[in-house]
Amino acid sequence: MDKIQKKPQVWILSFLFSLANVLGVMFVAALPELTEYFQITKGKAQDTISIYLLGCMVAQVIYPSLAKSFGRKASIYIGGSLAIVGSVLCLISLEMSSYSLLLFGRGIMALGAACGAILVSTIVAESFSVHETRKKFSHLFSSFIVFPSIGIVIGGFLTKYISWESCFYFMLLYSIFVVLLCIWVPETGKDNSLSHLHIVKIAKSYIQQFSNVTGLLYGLIAACACIFLYVFAAEAPFLAQEQLNISAEHFGLYNLIPNVGFFVGGLFSAHLIHRITSRTLVLIGVSGFTLFSVIMWLIFDMGFVNPLTLFGIPFFIFLSAAAILPNSQACALARAEDKPYMSSLLYVIQYLWVAMSIVALRLLPAEDPSVLPIMYSCSAGLMIILLCVVRKFYTKPCS
């Protein structure tokens, strides 16, 4: 077909777009219980997140060629099937008390679930104008955090009132639900061909994306902002339950506070795109992210660690991230000629940076509550440097 006959429904795309995040963090309230069950260290328990992120990163290299070879919709079904298989492997690992199999299952789950971000970004960019894309991304990035936050609440209650293992049963059922929902996602790709599976052609496609310097810089900014969710998910449960004596279900409820910040920020961002350029919104977001990260660091360093500071200050950090992510993503894709491969490269950068950040947590004192704001502040500093660099390459507005 020469023209897109049907626009995708954003509410359906939201479930697919957030699938990787839901499966990535839904069980974090159970991390202390998982640590005890497998008799592993806190760092090894956090590996269930870092391995997942690395799986998501690898997946981004796979799906652009699959989408161009078999179509966007077929690629969704391939990814969804892998997510289901990975969930089943995780359940088997619990029955066998095999931590190694759990990590393997998490990796397979990630390879499948990660199809959502890249394919939805591609579908939206192909279906709407640049201006509409900015607005759609604002709504999509709200689901990026709202759905996982609801999942963490559910995971907290499941851990408390049923068992921590039930979180993994929920992830299996949720994966099946999202795959079935995608029946109503239209195919937006054109000229699909198996020639796109050629390794040399794939390599050339990725190399060509490096000519989009502005896009790559905005992709790095988005990557730095992305740590707000996963670093919090990896560190906050231990801090809340072991140092503040907050139960699993209460952690899930408290966790809604910063996530509401992201949702509110997403609404503001979507409202302001008619009046403010994406570049300005990114600048505003980075400024807020930096300010509140430093404030949190100072307060934690003085010993004021309580539910209000642990969940209240991140409200503003998450709110700021909501201005950074959709607008930096839109800027990065605005002038990309090959949107599937550019989307892929952006998410590779993001997942790699977040995975490295989770691993970096081990380099800081395990019992120091300042670990969380230190990581935020380091990413904020890097975003400021990148914003300074992007000015040299920035030539015209994103919209």
- Burial of 3: CB neighbours in 10 Å, binned 0-12, 13-18, 19+: exposed
Cβ neighbourhood burial of 227 (10 Å; 0-12, 13-18, 19+): buried
Residue 78 covered by a domain: yes
398 inside domain: no
What's this model's pTM, rounded to 2 decimal places? 0.79
d(CA 69, CA 115): 15
Contact 127, 188 (CB under 8 A): yes
Residue 399: inside a domain? no
Domain count for the chain, please give it.
Answer: 1
Task: Tell me how crowded residue 320 is: count the other CB atoms within 10 A of its CB.
Answer: 25
The number of C-alpha atoms within 13 Å of 168 and in the hemisphere containing its C-beta is: 23
CATH number of the domain at 232, please. Answer: 1.20.1250.20
Q: According to the model, what pLDDT value does residue 2 have?
A: 41
Amino acid identity for residue 42 in this structure = K
Give the domain extent around 321.
10-187+196-393
What pLDDT is recorded for position 8? Answer: 80
Nearest to 115 by CA among 63, 69, 65: 63
* 209 close to 338: Cβ distance less than 8 angstroms: yes
Q: How far apart are CA 83 and CA 35, in angstroms?
A: 23
User: Is residue 3 in some structural domain?
Assistant: no
* Residue 4 falls inside a structural domain: no
| Contact of 33 with 159, CB cutoff 8 Å | yes
Distance CA 131, CA 118 (A): 19
Q: What is the pLDDT of residue 134?
A: 67
pLDDT in tens, the chain (399 residues): 344 457 788 888 989 998 998 999 999 999 999 999 999 988 899 899 999 999 998 988 888 888 878 888 889 999 999 999 999 999 999 999 999 999 999 999 999 999 888 788 788 877 777 667 767 776 777 777 788 889 999 999 999 899 999 999 999 999 999 999 988 888 876 766 666 667 787 788 778 888 788 888 888 998 999 888 888 888 888 888 888 999 888 888 898 899 889 888 878 877 777 788 888 889 999 999 999 999 999 999 998 999 999 999 999 999 999 889 888 877 887 767 777 678 778 888 888 898 888 888 878 776 788 889 999 999 999 999 999 898 776 656 565
Q: Write down the pLDDT at residue 397.
A: 57
Q: How would DSSP label each residue in 51-65?
A: HHHHHHHHHHHHHHH
Asked whether residue 263 is assigned to any structural domain, the reply reads: yes
